[in-house]
Every structure is written in C-alpha cells, then in structure tokens.
C-alpha cells in the first residue's frame, strides 16, 4: 500500500536512490527485523520511515490517514 501511495505522489524511491538508500541515510543495515532489505517494497518503507511518514510498528487505520496527509505534503 505504501508503494502505491508514493507512486501516486510521483515518488519512485528505488529509481531515485537505487542501492544507495541505506548509505544515503547512514544506516548500517535494515531498520526492520521483519523486512528483507532486498524486498521490492523495502526502499519505500525505509524512505518513508526516515522521512517520518511511517512509525516503527504496525500501521493502524488512523496512522494510514496520517501517512496520506504526510505524503501529500511531499507532493
């Protein structure tokens, strides 16, 4: 769902950062233990977390509304 939202906002994180996303944010490794850092959605989740768009927990419906507002501000 997050990838779709970022695409709607015309943000293609993988295209912008490629394999350099972790280096860009000075991260030694993946932030989320339950996420494979090679997964197709991993760049979007990492970018969104570092931008303060997503929390470090499961997203509730209320937090989903907040994500839409925050991504809208990036637009």
Helix (H) or strand (E) holding 15: helix 13-17
Distance CA 74, CA 23 (A): 22
pTM exceeds 0.85: no
Calpha distance 33→49 (Å, rounded): 14
CA distance 31 to 66: 21
Interacting residues of 61 by C-beta distance below 8 A, sequence separation 6+: none
Answer for the pair 13, 51: CB distance below 8 angstroms, yes or no.
no
Q: Where are the domains of the chain?
A: 2-74
pLDDT by residue, tens only, the chain of 75 residues: 888 889 888 889 988 898 888 899 998 888 888 888 888 888 998 999 999 988 878 888 998 899 888 888 876
């Amino acid at each position: 769902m997050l990838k779709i939202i970022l695409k709607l906002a015309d943000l293609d994180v993988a295209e912008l950062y490629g394999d350099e996303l972790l280096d860009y944010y000075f991260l030694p490794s993946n932030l989320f233990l339950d996420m494979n850092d090679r997964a197709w959605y991993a760049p979007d989740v990492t970018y969104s977390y570092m931008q303060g768009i997503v929390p470090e927990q499961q997203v509730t419906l209320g937090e989903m509304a907040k994500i839409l507002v925050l991504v809208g501000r990036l637009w």
